[in-house]
Structure 1
Amino acid sequence: MSQFIEICKRTKVLAYFGSYVRQDDFVDNVSDINIFAITNDKSILLELASLGYSPIVLSESNFIDLCEKGDPLCYYLLYDSNVICGEFPRNVKFNLNNFTCERIRRSIFAFLSLAVSAFFRQDEISALSNSFRALRNVIQWKSCTNLNKIPIRINDLKDKCEELKLSICNEFSDIILVRRMKEALSLWSLDKVAEAICREFNMECVKPSKILQSVKNPLQVTYNQDGTVIVKDSSGNEAKLS
């Protein structure tokens, strides 16, 4: 707490959020320690980052705007956080709507892109973490769309996956186990993650193994909403695969 004394004086609220506030879900040296501040002092972002946290800093007006729009970030900050000091603005409510579900849906392929890119860079932690996030967001998207709810805790995510009869439940359970054991993903496992996600979209996607076969020294991978990928290699050349 001593490291936050001065920061607290310059914020309306400072809080942890994400898996760090859910000790059963937090995996040391794998999970990020997320923290956010509501303040107009943008220098706090660098201060929190220098302390080893993954920070988000928002002004009060930006935070309220996120909540009114139904941005999922507001939901996580309001309902998946542990306040260190201060308090949230009063009378702020989260407006879950179609925009919320769409934002979650669009993030799925962003996380998958990050996971595959990290795998090719041999960043094992990022590949694992973003694979988990991609699968998690499939469940959140389907739950948001069909049940008007966004599950957060791993046990709740598992329950909603089974309730909705999604086809990714086995892959999600597998990635949770690999994450807890802090093991590296194999190329085969990453292929299974990509296959499982695209199955929920009723389409075929380019597997990471095909990318590796088609492009020498792939560095950055971007999955499109139609399952195709844009791959940039270490020389800066781009290729589109389908």
Structure 2
Amino acid sequence: MHPQPPHTPLRRVSQGSLFRLSRSQDQAASSSSDAPAGLAFLPPALAELADEAESLQACAQGLQQLSASIGAFNDAFASWLYAMDMNALTVEWYQAPSQASFEVAKRRAGPEQSAKTDTENTTTVAPDTTVTANETTIAESKSAGKVVKKKGKPKMTAKEKKERSIAVDKTVMALPLEFRGNDPTLRRHVESVIEKLMDNVNKGLKILEFVKPPDLNQARVNKCLIALVNRKIVRKDNSTGVVLYHWQGVPP
């Protein structure tokens, strides 16, 4: 005969029935005169539970109000940022007529008004005027019966064109991937902007001087200039009150 393995002693609940345990507790409670009888302990517990549930509901409503306030603030702040962005894109109208534009219009209107305008020599021309010295000279020459052709930029030789193409490719390769061939239209736009900057190395250019509608609009020019400025190929200068872009070249 094999000896039986030892048994772990059971706890009190397992040794007897739950009914016997409850009776023993009722007897112990009946010995105390202050102990509640039966279900008398439930009303105070339920009242406390109701208070806690009401407090939880108040906290949840507070969180909901906070979420609504944050949502309203986000909408208002996003609208403000959008308005600032649109203001930055539309506030600088370089092609707006200035005093010099009216002077040229008067000269073109007729000799009488032209003679009257010539006597007014105290006119101040705005720094960002759209009427250049060449246009003024052309207008004055037309009034005198002469036509002066505006000089264009000199043509490049084959060697210069090849060197320019290599320099443009080198600049484009320094830009993010989206400018380097994923979008042929975007690459063509950035090449146009780069060539414009290379043709005006010694002076700053305004953003509207790069625009060539309808294909190359102001938004696309702005995107190309932002990429060039981030790579420090172009320097952005607004110290004079007008935003100008200066060519610096690809950093070594």
TM-score by length of 1: 0.20
Larger Rg: 2
For CA contacts below 8 A with separation 6 or more, give which structure has more relative contact order. Answer: 1
- Structure 2 length-normalised TM: 0.20
Q: Answer 1 or 2: which has greater helix percent.
A: 2
More strand by share: 1
